[in-house]
Amino acid sequence: MLQYLIILLDEASTPFCSLTPCPSDPPTPFRGRKEGGLIPLETLRQGIRFGMMENLMIQYVYPDKELPKEYLEVIESIDHSKIRSLPLTPPKEGGTEVDVWVTESIKDIKADVPVVWRTDKQSLFNSEADIIKALENVPRLNIVLTDIETFIEEDFEKYKSLLEKLSKAIEQMYVDGKAPQLNLLTDRMMLSKMNNCGAGDTSITLAPNGKFYVCPAFYYEDETDCVGDLEHGLDIKNKQLYKLEYAPICRHCDAWQCKRCVWLNRKTTLEVNTPSHEQCVVAHLERNASRELLNNIRKHGSFLPEQEEIKEIDYLDPFDKRDTWQ
């Protein structure tokens, strides 16, 4: 069921998930974004109206630039959350507080709201110390890998090793009475069912052109790949395929923290409901590291007593176990 409407306030709004650029895209601070302008004010008003009528929680995705005053008034006309890039010029007036910061640099970040760090694998593997430092300075850190599809065996090993090191650091923070949140390691400990991106199922995106898209990545990749518009409403063909029950691999999986990015699915396997091998292995390395973390924290005392143990498994890709559920 749809719950969220993501509104891109500008054609160059901040990418906040795994969207990667076309090779031909010119380099920009945030890869994948388009050159362009603000969403027309009337389109924004209509989008908000649509969200209100459909009972959707609105999430605005900001560009790097300041918005004109008339936009701020319209934006504030409805309850919402804000996603924008970090750093940002300090707000001059009220009403521009942020709910999620997005950054492409992990160095010296400090915030009192959750931070999304978009990174490629190479930067990630080299940033152990910066990540640990960041965990001390933000209430929550979401690390979003932008090049999962390029992982090879060597990268899986490096990722596993990094997660082990981060797990040790987080364990110590818990022992010290802190409660850091790192999506890759702490989410799975807290979850009791799948908690994925939800694009096309629980969320939909409105682009500045007045058309709906499954998520921002679909818009950035191909503007014609829309699923309706403000004039005619939503028209998501085969919308069942965005639901977990219609994802043969995922519905048998317990790497519940996996982003299950439908855009990346389609890019790598040509189907929105089928993850790539690389996506599955990355998610299972996180799952297994979460298992170790949970077990280790519990050695220090009672921790999340209502949460079931994360079971030990002998695979990293549920696809390899398909004979057991087919």
Residues that bind other proteins (CB under 8 A): 237-238, 241, 246, 248-249, 268-278, 319, 322, 326
Q: How far is the CB of 201 from other proteins (least distance, A)?
A: 15
Q: What are the angstrom distances between the C-alpha of 237 and each of 230, 234, 240, 274?
A: 16, 9, 8, 17
By three-state DSSP, how is residue 87 classified? coil
Cβ-contact 254, 248 below 8 angstroms: no
| Least Å from the CB of residue 225 to other proteins | 10
DSSP state of 317: -
For residue 207, the minimal CB distance to other proteins (Å) is 19
Distance CA 173, CA 214 (A): 38
Quick one: 72 or 234, whose CB is closer to other proteins?
Answer: 234
Q: What is the smallest separation between the CB atom of 326 and other proteins, expressed in angstroms?
A: 7
- Nearer Cβ to other proteins, position 154 or 323? 323
Distances 251 to 51, 214, 256 between C-alpha atoms, Å: 29, 20, 10
Give whichever of 11 and 278 is closer to other proteins, judged by the CB atom.
278
Identity of the residue, 12 or 262, whose beta carbon is nearer to other proteins in the bound complex? 262
133/277 with CB nearer other proteins? 277
Beta carbon of residue 266, minimum distance to other proteins (angstroms, whole number): 9
Q: How far apart are CA 38 and CA 13, in angstroms?
A: 9
Rounded to 5, what percent of the chain is helix, strand, coil? 40, 15, 50
